[in-house]
Structure 1
């Protein structure tokens, strides 16, 4: 990533410069990026479980971590916690998500967020909103 690039992005698999474990199975160990605007190197390192499912993304700053990613036996995401900007001094628990599925199915029924209600994911008290359902059907082909 040179200083003349408007945006530079790098994916590390077998090499890890930010404390990740080098991976030889095709999973991404780290990502790095820089913009010409401030020329600051930013990065994420990723953690996986024994089934190669992502469980965490640790950022260059603890302000932007993803953690608590768990899965059910169908490989569906059950929980996810995300830290990000909410106020100049608040970054924790922007999203604390719990995903609900039909019994013995991969059909997503709802996503509930017990994190910040002003920023981040917007949930609905009656489950998924119509717009969210349409987006799921469009992108994931869930009927």
Structure 2
């Protein structure tokens, strides 16, 4: 496994502030690709905004988005408000498996109360499964 920060291996944007620019690893033997990885993007206050999946069999990598996490948004308190994730949906198809929306308590803005998945219904079992959470406020 390899992490880059300031030096770019392929097409990632170098990060000079301690953020990880990319992560790569060797794929298992028998796959058509020899190296896979992610390029990471950040917002102006260094919060993760996305992770783009790539594969390389020779030369420069190819952005395939198979397992990308293309969108992460935050509220003013820094809590995640939306999160998207792609994954394998059939033997040769990749699509959105998570399109999560996070809801927070209006009285206690940092307390998560619910997560809803807006991904296509057929893909939802392949990703995150939201559970109802109950809190004992004042205990």
Tell whether 2:113 aligns with 1:121. no
Maintained 8 Å contact 2:13/2:21: yes
Maintained 8 Å contact 1:10/1:31: yes
Deviations 1:28-60 (A, max 9, x none): 000011145347111100000101101010001
Q: 1:36 to 1:89 in 2, by over 3 A?
A: closer
Q: Which runs of 5+ in 2 are unaligned?
A: 55-63
Q: Which residue of 2 aligns with 1:99?
A: 102
Q: Which residue of 1 aligns with 2:37?
A: 43
User: Which one of the candidate residues 12, 29, 53 is aligned to 1:20?
Assistant: 12
Maintained 8 Å contact 2:27/2:36: no
Q: Separation in 1 of the partners of 2:95 and 2:127?
A: 11
Number of aligned residue pairs = 121
Maintained 8 Å contact 1:18/1:45: no
Range with bigger deviation, 54-63 or 27-36: 27-36
Q: Which runs of 5+ in 1 are unaligned?
A: 1-8, 134-142
Whichever structure has more strand as a proportion of its residues is 2
Range with bigger deviation, 103-112 or 18-27: 103-112
Q: Which residue of 1 aligns with 2:53?
A: 59
Length-normalised TM-score, structure 1 = 0.76
Deviations 1:66-106 (A, max 9, x none): 11210000100000111101112431111000011112521
Show structure 1 runs of 4+ deviating over 3 A: none
Length-normalised TM-score, structure 2 = 0.78
Q: Separation in 2 of the partners of 1:35 and 1:91?
A: 18
Whichever structure has more helix as a proportion of its residues is 1
Aligned-partner SS, 1:51: coil
